[in-house]
Structure 1
Amino acid sequence: MLEPNFSESQLQQAVNSAFIRLIYEERGEWAFANVPSLFDEFVLGWDSAFYFPWLPHPALEEHEGCNFFIQYKLSCELTTRGAGQWEDWKESYLRFKIPHSTKGSDGRHQDDYHQWERLKELADKNYPTFYATNSTLSKEYLKEISNNGSLLCKTPFLDVRDIAQLHKYVTFTQSSDFFFLHSEIEKSPKADINVIFERLREARKTSMSESNRLLYGSLKELAVSDESWQVDLRQISDLLSSESDAGEVLLVRSLLSNFVRRHIGAQLYWYPGRG
């Protein structure tokens, strides 16, 4: 098994910087990458997160006001026929492990899926939640593609929202356009940055009326255990079901903005589409 000559932190720093660069090129804005401490990461589940105000997902106060999440994983390359998943690829492949290895009370190593469970909670609420990994083992090549602006195009992203089952390993090759997830095989598309930002661009072009409904749906899911949220949302629901002109759409957006500010402590923005 061949290991990369750079750390997970190096990959994280490079990809976060590439995201910041791309957002600036796309929108002329400087994005901020939230990076929690190791202690907080255990609670949150993610390594880095952003708040993109044009997404239809409200900022999550308990996740540092973010709505886009990344967990970084280092992949190693397996090159021999005796490798665990060789028969699935029949060629050299890259692999990362989803659970952490921890020592149990008996001193034996065991798989800990706590981080996965936290990520899946976000994904099940339809928040953009990704594993990001390396497609190279060379730090020099990582630096090269970072410098020339192609790093995000060459970074494989696995959308947690696409994963249905619990798995231990994720495998892929540099040329494959999908991942295999093991133990029971599940096939999932490999989402490169073009796929990710196409989804973000589509979200940005959503009409205000439709984004009102998407936002209301997300808030309703979060309000299950909070009576005060439910009361306020019921008032918005009555208007949402009857909005018929631009004035009513703007009124619902204003009420949603006030709700988010009051209950979550974040500011809600809507950007009119261009053209």
Structure 2
Amino acid sequence: MKLSTAIKYRFKYQMKAALFFFGYFLLFAIAFPLIGIFVSGTDSTVSSDMLFASMLFMIILAFIGVSSDFKLFIQNGMSRNNIFLSSLISNFTLSLIISCILLGIKQFGNGLLTQKLSLTLFFVDIYTKENLMTSFLLLFIFLLFASSIGSIMGVFNDRVTGYKKLFVIATLIMIPILVSLLVKIISPDFKTSIFSFILKSLGIYPDGNKPFSLVLSLFVIFIVLSIITYLMNYKREIKRINA
């Protein structure tokens, strides 16, 4: 199977899933509540955040796809490198498209029904203050970051089984506890430096939020997660679909 064929295959079912997601979201998060408001005649406003739902969608889609696609592609003679590239390119493209659609829905919905509808992109709105291009860039990075989380979770779920999986999950759960204990014993100056670095990485500065710092941080994490996913995928066992 060629790389272009794999990308088209992934993109086709991803777009179908995206259409279903947007249809479901528009119907249950916007249309039905608005109908209720108009019928009742109240002055309430429908508030819906689209960022978290979209990120969750990207995580789930990447999680499912990274497992099923690998099995299909590897049995059709596709190399692991091309499988990884097809996933990366399709997720990148889908993130771009969904970012455009989300911003379009927000602009159109809020402009059309100003008094009845309030669509938000929570963190994006906080950082960008309605700057369209900056909003698009940050939203795109959020979705790309979400897809990388879904991908690494999918590969991990497929590769690690049994007691190994339980051990890794338990270790991940313990990490925050160990970090909190470590924070308590380090010197105040070092603690201040760490918190200052974290805040700057998140784009939080004394004079206001800096979206491009957050974009850079998320992009670096995306690169790291993608590399880990690639390495985990490199020696991944070949399992037949009907096995």
TM-score (norm 2): 0.28
Report which of the two has the higher share of strand: 1
Question: Under a length normalisation based on structure 1, what TM-score does the superposition of the two structures give?
Answer: 0.26
Larger RCO (CA under 8 A, 6+ residues apart): 2
